Amino acid sequence: MKKETAASGTETETGTGARAGIDPSGPALARIRALPSWQLNRASARGRRLVGEALAREGLRMPHHAVLSAVSDLGPVAQAELGRTTGFDPKDMVGILNDLQAAGLVTREPDPADRRKNAISLTDEGGRRLVRLAERGDEANEELLGALTPGERERFLELLRKVAEG
């Protein structure tokens, strides 16, 4: 029952990128799996899993790490500014900061100079936790790129940045 109509017939095309060694009977799935977007999703999912597991050992998740880093860099800073810097939605920023505040890693005080704003600051414990988070994150990324040589990693990151920035 193989009535392969799609793509198997006279789809000569330019022959670009097409991995010539693909199963001739039904290349549709292999084509999809060869797409950069597909492989990017797979690699990204693996990275998220590795980093997620690593940060979970510190009781936090990736957004917490990012926001904690931003607070560390920007000193006392408003939530909206944190959102612009890290790219997280204001809606989600509320929950992230709630978690960090509940864990005693940041303080959230009203800004006397602008009473609309919250001044977010890093606590000492937050600073210590951030160091450990960075270590865990580095370990996870080390494992993520484990199959690559140092030279390949450099090249990969360079190309990846181009793709990410569009």
Site for its own copies, residues 104 to 133, rule: CB under 8 A: 111, 113-114, 117, 119, 122, 124, 127, 130-131
166 binds, among its own copies, DNA, none (CB under 5 to 8 A by kind): its own copies
DSSP string, 93-139: HHHHHHHHHHTTSEEEEE-TT-TT-EEEEE-HHHHHHHHHHHHHHHH
Residue 117 in the binding site for DNA (CB under 7 A): yes
Cβ 151 to DNA, closest distance in Å?
29
Closest CA to 6 of 31, 33, 38: 31
Of 60, 64, 65, 88, which lies in the binding site for its own copies, with binding defined by CB under 8 A? Answer: 65
Residue 21 binds what, of DNA, its own copies, none (CB under 5 to 8 Å, by partner type)? none
Q: What share of the chain is helix, strand, coil (3-state, %, to 5)?
A: 60, 5, 35
Interface with DNA includes 97 (CB under 7 A)? yes
CB 62 within 8 A of CB 53: no
Is 90 a binding residue for its own copies by CB under 8 A? The answer is no
